[in-house]
Amino acid sequence: MTTDENLRHAEKMRKIKAARDRMMETKTEEKGLIMVHTGAGKGKSSSGFGMIMRCISHQMPCAVVQFIKGNWDTGEKTFLRERFADECRFFVSGEGFTWETQDRERDIAAAQNGWRIAKEQILDPEIQFVLLDEINIALRYDYIDIDEVVDFLLNEKPAMTHVCLTGRNAKPELIEAADLVTEMTLIKHPFRDGVKAQAGVEF
Amino acid sequence: MTTDENLRHAEKMRKIKAARDRMMETKTEEKGLIMVHTGAGKGKSSSGFGMIMRCISHQMPCAVVQFIKGNWDTGEKTFLRERFADECRFFVSGEGFTWETQDRERDIAAAQNGWRIAKEQILDPEIQFVLLDEINIALRYDYIDIDEVVDFLLNEKPAMTHVCLTGRNAKPELIEAADLVTEMTLIKHPFRDGVKAQAGVEF
């Protein structure tokens, strides 16, 4: 690049920085967020666990309630239970996907139990971030009442507590109530080509 | 629910489980994946770090190269450098977004240096998973040559090594080459309502 091009680049970048600084000046509010990760793509749970890593690093006490993957021996469960039991409370409510248990009554009881624990953790003034992993599956099958969940998040959640709810097919009521919603969209997935779920990537 | 309903439910779930088991039987291949997280939504980097957590738990040595957020004091950087330096190598190539440095030549040099480190880590037979965080930004501005990256990933990457590339605006060539692509789609974001970036959530 010539000197002229570099100067034009520096000027353009200066303008972008100024615009961004003006935009960010308006962003002064801190609040506990209701976050939803949904969609058919990969990354809903793993980005929740990425935020748990950030919370531990910032010494923000946090909690995880896993609603569905309960009987899986996941990397994140082992990691958090064995190494960060003081920093992150880890609860399991479910016993796996419902087609594995084949017992709807037991699934409902597990989901209800998970939601009871979730409320306790969210209300605990010490806890700053709660990950409700795969709760959307339990909500979708009406194992937990969506109206009760939305009402609790909007009216009883402490103002500064973050809650992240993951799972496909998030209910419209939850999306409406949330501050931040990301849809993980599946563009390509190796399962289609016969590749199985692998350690480090999927669990 | 009546007993009849419960029996019908159990039968339906049994069929789904059988279908799923048949489907999963075909998924026997293990291979190192090329994964891309792109899109304007949240969760691209954090789900990469969620996978790093899984790798550490499974005792799979891994590496991170951060291309853009270099001068940020992120939770994930502190966490991995202070607590998991043996399990996960952490490299920083960039000095922040380009509108902060305002020096294109320096940005290019930093990106090229990051890519050199990335290749070394990917080729290292000990390393099983490499996260190239925000590399798509460097590729988008042609600070790194997309053809070189795609050629390297397809022809020189060891067969069992996973590589995850994150950042908005992934180039079509990269999406074509990848095994797994997720687009994080922005449905709602609190920045729009004046909420600033917060610890634990954004960094």
Assess if residue A200 is contained within a domain.
no
Whether residues B76 and B105 share a domain: the answer is: yes
CB atoms closer than 10 angstroms to residue B178? 23
Kind of pairing between the strands at B34-38 and A62-66: unpaired
Q: Which residue has the higher pLDDT, B55 or A96?
A: B55
pLDDT number for residue A30:
84
Whether the pLDDT of residue A2 is over 80: the answer is no
Assess if residue A198 is contained within a domain.
no
Q: Which residues contact A3 (CB under 8 A, 6 or more apart)?
A: none
Residue B202: pLDDT band (50, 70, 90) is confident
DSSP secondary structure letters along A99-116: HHH--HHHHHHHHHHHHH
Assess if residue B57 is contained within a domain.
yes
Cα–Cα dist A92/A25, whole Å: 41
Whether residues B114 and B100 share a domain: the answer is: yes
The number of domains in chain B is 2
Give the residue numbers spanning the domain of A2.
1-27
Angle, to 10 degrees, between the axis of helix B3-25 and the axis of helix A104-123? 80
Candidates A17, A20, A184; nearest CB to B43: A184
CA B92 from chain centre, in angstroms, equals 15
Assess if residue B185 is contained within a domain.
yes
Whether residues A116 and A132 share a domain: the answer is: yes
Assess if residue B73 is contained within a domain.
yes
Assess if residue B199 is contained within a domain.
no
Whether residues A137 and A170 share a domain: the answer is: yes
Instruction: Spell out the alpha helix ranges (H) of chain A.
Output: 3-25, 44-57, 75-83, 98-101, 104-123, 135-140, 146-155, 172-177
Cα–Cα dist B195/B201, whole Å: 12
Whether residues A15 and A109 share a domain: the answer is: no
Query: Min CA distance, B171 vs chain A (Å)?
Result: 13
Whether the pLDDT of residue B125 is over 70: the answer is yes
Candidates A49, A51, A187; nearest CB to B201: A51
pLDDT number for residue B128:
98
Q: What is the pLDDT of residues A19-72, one digit of tens each?
A: 767 766 766 688 899 999 999 999 999 999 999 999 999 999 999 999 976 566
Q: Which residue has the higher pLDDT, A8 or A159?
A: A159
Whether residues A62 and A121 share a domain: the answer is: yes
Assess if residue A202 is contained within a domain.
no
pLDDT number for residue A10:
80
Q: What percentage of chain B exceeds 90 in pLDDT?
A: 61
Whether residues B20 and B59 share a domain: the answer is: no
Query: Hey, are the CB atoms on A199 and B58 less than 8 Å from each other?
Result: yes
Whether residues A94 and A21 share a domain: the answer is: no
Query: Hey, are the CB atoms on B182 and A185 less than 8 Å from each other?
Result: yes
Whether residues B16 and B110 share a domain: the answer is: no
Assess if residue A171 is contained within a domain.
yes
Residue with tokens 């290019």: B108
Q: What is the pLDDT of residues B138-153, one digit of tens each?
A: 999 999 999 999 999 9
Whether residues A13 and A41 share a domain: the answer is: no
Q: What SS3 string covers A55-89?
A: HHHCCCCEEEEECCCCCCCCHHHHHHHHHCCCCEE
Whether residues B60 and B126 share a domain: the answer is: yes
Backbone angles phi, psi at B27, to 5 degrees: -95, 75
B128 to chain A: closest CA residue = A200
Backbone angles phi, psi at A89, to 5 degrees: -80, 135
Candidates B43, B51, B56; nearest CB to A182: B43
DSSP secondary structure letters along B21-89: HHHHHT--B----EEEEESSSS-HHHHHHHHHHHHHHTT--EEEEESS-TTS--HHHHHHHHH-TTTEE
Q: What percentage of chain B exceeds 70 in pLDDT?
A: 87
CATH number of domain containing B158: 3.40.50.300
Whether residues A152 and A188 share a domain: the answer is: yes
